[in-house]
Chain A
């Protein structure tokens, strides 16, 4: 944090304390949303933010709770700054808390710059459409929901589902085909348990990615208000590395549901009129201003890719948290409880998952020419099999024609050979596509309506190598 002597203004006594809000007589020179010092009687300092200011009063939201604030000895003092993150390339390999202070026992970094944690919107006319395929080594993602650099693609999970293991697998395996470039990982832990946070840190360490990572950790026991700044700090670090150091940055934020709960809590304290299920009406915009920080910019080497993880309350995808997220992100990877029960890892739901940027990232030069065809055909065949599976639960498989039975079996095989894979198994996209072709071999050739004849001749196991 920058403590600029120029801006120290006179202190103001506190008139009222309510929830995490302080009301003071108007603090001269205070800026809207500025970060202020709240000095306690004991001399201890807390930080607060000016959320409503006028000629009469200033309303300050206090970070870290109002305990020990009193009306006699506590004072509010302006710093003349909105929240900033000190940055330099030395943030790589470091761990910070939700206020951007180091918590790894090492000294503070010597900053090159202080960046406003809210960032600035990328001029839409300066953006480059994301298009470079990131190979995660996971068939259900690479084959069916390809991720590209500059995309924001969340994991929608449920309590107890292995989202962390999948995210860790992505971190270990993610690579852009044919390129060895500068990449970095920014990890933001939001209200997760200490164990969860250390699971990720261990994973980074084991893969040797730790020195290319920056972590911002706000665990469940840390102040709620800092949960609001944590993802912004992470994204500010990511932007710094991407736009000033030409790095390809992958940002993992977990668990955004905790972030949204914090937002709801603060909104309630401010007595704002709630929107659906008590979440504030501006939650869409709030989340969007963070997720929109993903992207590519023309003339810049780097990129920011965001994979937020969230747990859907009650596994309900229409709950405001996943719903608003889905309206912002470029698709979603949805985990399926049914697959998880069946023992399928990774339990990635085929129908509900979608990567909207996939089409740009696949095909000749990126993955393989037949990728789109294999994707569409696999999908259609699996959809048909699932429909028949549903019918057969009522009428029994005997009621199906022979052709239908083939599709029914194909759906099972698709789940166990295409979707399911090992947690340490890293499949190339070619391997993934070839598994698709193995499955097509069980279907009638004239049924492969979504594949061009040229590709059938080239890749169908029947013609391969002939």
Chain B
């Protein structure tokens, strides 16, 4: 077919390419490196190479595939570790090879593995796009629902019986306009195109993360979109890893895009131990990892996020709640910038291409709560959380700013809090969630006074920030007693409630009910202590009450004992925190 005419970094220009299409996947050179056509000019095509072009020569051949870049969808995805192009990284290791060889090939889904398929439809049924024709127990935690792919509908002519099939064997035959179509357990979908659905709804219901400051203060709704910007070392990765470990969703997808290999190793290894509380199964069975670390091909960073979101939509279409996290979207944006520079495009702000904002939106906008195509009727949701790494922790830069225009929940990470080792460093004054209303109903079932307590705690923190300025001028001892108490209480909210170490054996994860009791306890203390102050007891005395350390050790209480121990604590508070 074509031939290489020019190589400049990840950009390859080929000649003899008449007849290819934009976004067509091509194989470059003897090693058949993967690339995508991104522009056509006469018989020349501009190609972005998703693998390292080092060592390529002018004149090497370019083979078109006639296909655009797709994700492979079917049983075998769960618990996989993929590179940015959906090659299975574990398969790449199979020959004992520990390093990534350029041009190495690996399928996304195992070809020879047999899956146990149980049909759910019968011959003669009218099938629509998205119709669930059967199920495969992919892992103990995930039932893989086999759907009629979008674009196919008709009458079921034949279906195989319950049994073991590979992903490539035909399992059903659908007649559509006189033509028979074979269905397999596997389907494909172009990664840059959102998968279709019937209807879209507002995000609703709480995506339980187990992180108090998120769940309680800035709740994330199922189907929502959020970002986590923060300077280096502020805790973006730890936060996203905590989300995929503990979020109460059906499936989680972790996209490591242009970040560290050791971090990937760390999160992967943690999943060899973590178990799902209810079933005792390895949590890994509901996870998918995409690892395109910073030393892997830069241009594949973009593909990695789109592969991730396509896998997520596919499972959403089965009627599941999916969480996808991407660490870090800034590295993907930088890949766009690098490519733009090589293409000698007109740069926008700080060298990023002018389409930065729309490209980011085309990713985040795929989040949502939807009614899925086909029967049975079902809802699925896809929640997206992206990390942003602003240079110099300065949020005025283009990636942060463009992202803020799209997302509805902001978890703003703070370098000053990181320096104080207050984790998570989500700044309670700068963060917000537009989903507080969408989750109110969810909360009202377990904590009718959630909205009130949340509001009063946030108010205390707000007042603390104002008082802090005065303290810096006159010192803490010069404040009136009720202000001193406010500071004490604000500190308790910060240290004993908002702060939550990801490495604490018990506190790493906190159910909403427990979070509610913790904050209620602190607010109760505030109320009782307020009465004491009014009756003339100095705050210095209140501060040394044994109740204070008891409250701060709430985090250590094992969950089985939690409610009893808190009830005891309240009784003691009522007895000991009384005015003179």
Contacts and interface: CB of A to CB of B under 8 A. Distances in A.
Interface of A: 26, 29-34, 51-55, 82, 118-130, 150-151, 243, 272-276, 281-282, 284-285, 288-289, 292-295, 297, 299-300, 318-320, 323-324, 326-328, 330-332, 351-352, 354, 356-357, 359-360, 376, 379-380, 383, 390-392, 394-395, 399-401, 404, 446, 449
Nearest 7 A/B pairs, CB to CB: A54-B6, A288-B294, A318-B392, A326-B232, A127-B265, A395-B475, A292-B295
B341 A120 contact: no
B90 interface: yes
Interface string B6-17: 111000010100
7 contacts: A52-B8, A151-B262, A285-B334, A293-B295, A295-B262, A318-B391, A449-B552
A400 B475 contact: yes
Say which size band chain B's interface belongs to.
Answer: 35 or more
Interface stretch (B52-60, B113-121, B181-189, B515-523): B52-60
B245 interface: no
Given A128-B265, A282-B298, A400-B477, 16 more contacts: A32-B56, A33-B55, A54-B8, A55-B15, A273-B347, A276-B391, A285-B334, A320-B392, A323-B232, A352-B419, A357-B262, A376-B421, A383-B421, A391-B471, A394-B472, A394-B473
Contacts of B341: 272-273, 281
Given A82-B55, A272-B341, A394-B475, A292 B294 contact: yes
Given A32-B7, A124-B264, A328 B350 contact: no
B98 A122 contact: yes
A217 to B, nearest CB: 25
B233 A292 contact: no
Given A281-B337, A292-B294, A127 B420 contact: no
Contacts of B351: 273-275, 281
Nearest to B268: A125
Contacts of A288: 258, 294-295
Q: Which of B59, B260, B262, B351 has the most CB of A within 10 A?
A: B262
A285 B298 contact: yes
A120 to B, nearest CB: 4
Contacts of A327: 232, 389
A54 B7 contact: yes
A275 B337 contact: yes
B49 to A, nearest CB: 10
A379 B337 CA distance: 40
B291 interface: yes
B474 interface: yes
A383 B420 contact: yes
Contacts of B474: 395, 399
Nearest to B553: A449
A356 B232 CA distance: 11
Contacts, number: 207
A124 B389 contact: no
B137 interface: no
B351 to A, nearest CB: 5
Interface in B29-71: 53-59
Given A32-B55, A54-B13, A288-B295, A330 B100 contact: no
A289 B420 contact: no
Contacts of B92: 123, 125
Contacts of B294: 284-285, 288-289, 292, 328
Contacts of A124: 81, 89, 256, 261, 264-265, 268, 291, 293
A129 to B, nearest CB: 5
A379 B421 contact: yes
Contacts of B563: none
Contacts of A395: 473-475, 478
A52 B295 contact: no
B295 A401 contact: no
A446 B549 contact: yes
A404 B478 CA distance: 14
Contacts of A119: 99
A116 to B, nearest CB: 9
Given A284-B334, A299-B98, A300-B98, A122 B261 contact: yes
Contact of B58 (A30, A300, A320): A30
Contacts of A383: 420-421
Contact of B57 (A30, A299, A394): A30
B331 interface: yes
A328 B260 contact: yes
A326 B347 contact: no
A295 B261 CA distance: 8
A122 B99 contact: yes
Contact of B293 (A151, A276, A292, A318): A292
B56 A31 contact: yes
A380 B420 CA distance: 8
A333 B388 CA distance: 23
Contacts of A400: 475-477
Interface in B229-274: 231-233, 256, 258, 260-262, 264-266, 268-269
A264 B471 CA distance: 46
B232 A125 contact: no
Contacts of A130: 262
B405 interface: no
B101 interface: yes
Given A54-B5, A125-B93, A318-B393, A32 B53 contact: yes
Contact of B5 (A55, A275, A332, A357): A55
A32 B57 contact: yes
Nearest to A350: B419
A126 B93 contact: yes
A399 B472 CA distance: 12
Given A129-B262, A281-B334, A399-B478, A123 B89 contact: yes
A400 B474 CA distance: 10
Nearest to B501: A376
B97 interface: yes
Nearest to B421: A379
Interface centre among A288, A289, A357 (most CB of B within 10 A): A288
A82 B54 CA distance: 8
A77 B473 CA distance: 72
Interface in B69-100: 81, 89-90, 92-93, 97-100
A123 B98 CA distance: 6
B469 to A, nearest CB: 12
Contacts of A289: 294-295
B26 to A, nearest CB: 17
A33 to B, nearest CB: 5
B338 interface: yes
A398 to B, nearest CB: 9
Contacts of B476: 391, 400-401, 404
Contact of A52 (B6, B15, B262, B419): B6
Contacts of B59: 55
Most chain A CB inside 10 Å of its own CB: which residue of B13, B93, B391, B393: B391
B399 interface: no
Nearest to B347: A273
